[in-house]
């Protein structure tokens, strides 16, 4: 297996560092528009694991928006698998380049959505991932696999849902993916600051778009952003967090392979975060269409959302200023194998102190990054096999979770926590 990793930012950097401890591949090309970031990642690996390990890595400069350049780089290094670790706006380019280059493909976020033109808060338009799933037959005929949405959410959450369906439940009513944490970022004076732990570009996209839900008897439908607020108790000291509907890929992925009655995604944003996002929207700073701005050097066309991303702290660099934990999981409700009502929250918690000590990466990006590496190892060993455009829910979950948690694997603990099968507390 020869891997081209596109993007050496927060998640890409963590992917390479985690992979450095494993031996299932022959080479990894770490590429970025700023090649110095890829060089820094490899230098860290050399310092941590030695030059012999680092020799399996090479850096390269790449423009993720240039399909021809990606194909050329893949062919130059005899790449078998391309891993997309950049913003989802680049998905169509990298996805098509991987197909043209004749490689397999993995990503952690799928192609972007487009709201319904006339009724966006009731009807879906183009959903997350639709553009990729539409090409499934083409990939299948080519005998190549596009393993999509294999980060933490989507990704590990999908694996949890598949495990619950196969091993814990005889019938599933709802799969509700729930993400929350108690992460805090401070400035040099130890004051808490607004600093999203993931790309603000992506955060704006998923939080301000109409959330998509799915019901077996209704199909796909949408609602207003931040709707159906509820209080959910996250484990391991995180505590009660208010969660709201947010657009996310799991809703478009899980019903394809798991029999259930409903799928939803709720994110523990908190009122302050929601307030900031609403303000950005009100001011038009969430827009991606460029506007002309006057400057001393002359008029410049800029996208307001890119300006917001530029002025906020880089998520890849806030780890030393961050404390707390983040939790990703799926609350599955229905009927257990014994015929009794059951509610189980399958989850993984990442502590920022632990991830910083292990790989120098903050908790959210570290929690995202180990999942594609596990998936690559399962593909390299032939435990997971397939062709087409598939999410991780299409594969056997047990080998993934076994490798994830074993002492000879990735040593990442996961938990299936039983909950009372009752309705969660909702705000009026």
* Residue range 123-152, pLDDT digits in tens: 999 999 999 999 999 999 999 999 999 999
Specify which residues 187 forms β-bridges with: none
Q: What local confidence, expressed as pLDDT, does residue 427 receive? A: 47
Is 176:318 a contact under the CB 8 Å cutoff?
A: no
For the chain, percent of residues with pLDDT exceeding 90: 79
Q: Which range (35-39, 275-279, 361-365) has the least confidence?
A: 275-279
Can you spell out the DSSP letters for 339-365?
A: SSEEEEEEEEEEEHHHHHHHHS--HHH
DSSP state for residue 86 in the 8-state scheme: S
Alpha-carbon radius of gyration of the chain: 21
Residue 213 is inside which H or E element, if any? Answer: strand 212-215
Beta strand spans in 12-160 (E):
27-32, 57-61, 81-84, 104-107, 145-147
Q: What local confidence, expressed as pLDDT, does residue 316 receive? A: 73
pTM: 0.92
Fold of 156-367+411-419: Dihydrodipicolinate Reductase; domain 2 (3.30.360)
Whether the pLDDT of residue 42 is over 70: the answer is yes
Whether the pLDDT of residue 219 is over 90: the answer is yes
Is 182:324 a contact under the CB 8 Å cutoff?
A: yes
Using 50, 70 and 90 to split pLDDT, how confident is the model at 22? very high
d(CA 3, CA 98): 11
Whether the pLDDT of residue 424 is over 70: the answer is no
Q: What local confidence, expressed as pLDDT, does residue 428 receive? A: 40
Q: What local confidence, expressed as pLDDT, does residue 146 receive? A: 98
Q: Which range (25-39, 60-74, 313-327) has the least confidence?
A: 313-327
Between 69 and 200, the higher pLDDT residue: 69
Residue range(s) in the chain whose domain bears CATH number 3.30.360.10:
156-367+411-419
Average pLDDT, the chain: 93
- Report the Cα 176 to chain-centroid distance in Å: 16
d(CA 229, CA 146): 34
For residue 57 the two structure tokens come to 């890595």
Pairing state between β 57-61 and 27-32: parallel
Between 264 and 291, the higher pLDDT residue: 264
For residue 91 the two structure tokens come to 């998905």
Between 259 and 294, the higher pLDDT residue: 259
Between 190 and 170, the higher pLDDT residue: 170
Whether the pLDDT of residue 172 is over 80: the answer is yes
Average pLDDT over residues 53-62: 98
Q: What local confidence, expressed as pLDDT, does residue 190 receive? A: 83
Whether the pLDDT of residue 425 is over 70: the answer is no
Residue range(s) in the chain whose domain bears CATH number 3.40.50.720:
2-107
Can you spell out the DSSP letters for 154-186?
A: TBHHHHHHHHIIIIIEEEEEEEEEEEEE--EEB
Average pLDDT over residues 394-419: 97
Q: What local confidence, expressed as pLDDT, does residue 422 receive? A: 66
Q: What local confidence, expressed as pLDDT, does residue 372 receive? A: 98
Using 50, 70 and 90 to split pLDDT, how confident is the model at 313? confident
Instruction: For residue 325, count CB atoms less than 10 angstroms from its CB and return exposed for 0-12, middle for 13-18, buried for 19 or more.
Output: buried
C-beta atoms surrounding 96 within 10 Å: 17
For the domain 2-107, what is the CATH code? 3.40.50.720
Using 50, 70 and 90 to split pLDDT, how confident is the model at 262? very high
Number of H helices, E strands in the chain: 15, 20
For residue 245 the two structure tokens come to 């509907």
SS3 label, residue 102: coil
Between 27 and 183, the higher pLDDT residue: 27
DSSP state for residue 320 in the 8-state scheme: G
d(CA 162, CA 379): 18
Token match 């598939």: residue? Answer: 390
Is 28:56 a contact under the CB 8 Å cutoff?
A: yes
Whether the pLDDT of residue 195 is over 90: the answer is no
Average pLDDT over residues 186-210: 81
Q: Which is nearest to 302 in space by CA: 65, 278, 294, 90?
A: 294
């Amino acid at each position: 297996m020869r891997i081209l990793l596109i993007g050496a930012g927060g998640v890409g950097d963590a992917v390479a560092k985690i992979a450095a401890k494993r031996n299932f591949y022959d080479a990894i090309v770490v590429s970025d528009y700023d090649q110095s970031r890829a060089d820094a990642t490899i230098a860290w690996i050399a310092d941590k694991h030695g030059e012999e390990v680092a020799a399996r890595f090479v850096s390269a400069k790449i423009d993720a928006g240039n399909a021809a350049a990606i194909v050329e780089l893949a062919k130059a290094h005899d790449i078998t698998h391309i891993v997309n670790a950049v913003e989802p706006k680049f998905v169509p380019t990298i996805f098509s380049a991987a197909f043209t280059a004749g490689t397999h493909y993995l990503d952690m976020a799928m192609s972007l959505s487009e709201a319904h033109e006339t009724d966006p808060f009731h009807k879906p338009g183009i959903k997350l991932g639709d553009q990729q799933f539409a090409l499934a037959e083409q990939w299948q005929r080519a005998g190549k696999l596009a393993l999509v949405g294999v980060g933490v959410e989507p990704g590990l959450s999908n694996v949890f849902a598949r495990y619950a369906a196969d091993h814990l439940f005889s019938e599933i009513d709802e799969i509700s993916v729930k993400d929350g944490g108690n992460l805090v970022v401070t400035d040099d004076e130890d004051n808490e600051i607004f600093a999203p732990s993931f790309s603000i570009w992506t955060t704006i996209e998923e939080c301000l778009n109409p959330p998509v839900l799915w019901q077996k008897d209704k199909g796909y439908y949408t609602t207003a952003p931040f709707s159906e607020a509820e209080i959910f108790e996250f484990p391991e000291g995180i505590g009660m967090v208010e969660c709201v509907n947010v657009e996310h890929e799991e809703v478009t992925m899980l019903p394809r392979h798991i029999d259930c009655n409903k799928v939803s995604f709720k994110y523990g944003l908190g009122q302050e975060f929601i307030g900031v996002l609403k303000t950005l929207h009100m001011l038009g700073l969430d827009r991606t269409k460029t506007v002309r701005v006057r400057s001393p050097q002359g008029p410049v066309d800029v996208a307001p959302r890119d300006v917001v991303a530029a002025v906020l702290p880089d998520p890849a660099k806030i780890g030393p200023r961050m404390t707390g934990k983040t939790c990703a999981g799926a609350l599955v409700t229905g009927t257990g194998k014994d015929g009794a009502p059951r509610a189980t929250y399958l989850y993984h918690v990442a502590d920022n102190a632990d991830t910083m000590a292990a790989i120098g990466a903050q908790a959210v990006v570290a929690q995202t990054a180990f999942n594609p590496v596990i998936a690559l190892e399962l593909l390299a060993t032939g435990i997971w096999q397939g062709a087409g455009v598939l999410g991780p829910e299409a594969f056997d979950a047990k080998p993934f979770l076994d490798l994830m948690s074993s002492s000879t694997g990735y040593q990442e603990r996961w938990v299936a926590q039983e909950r009372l099968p009752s309705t969660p507390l909702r705000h009026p």
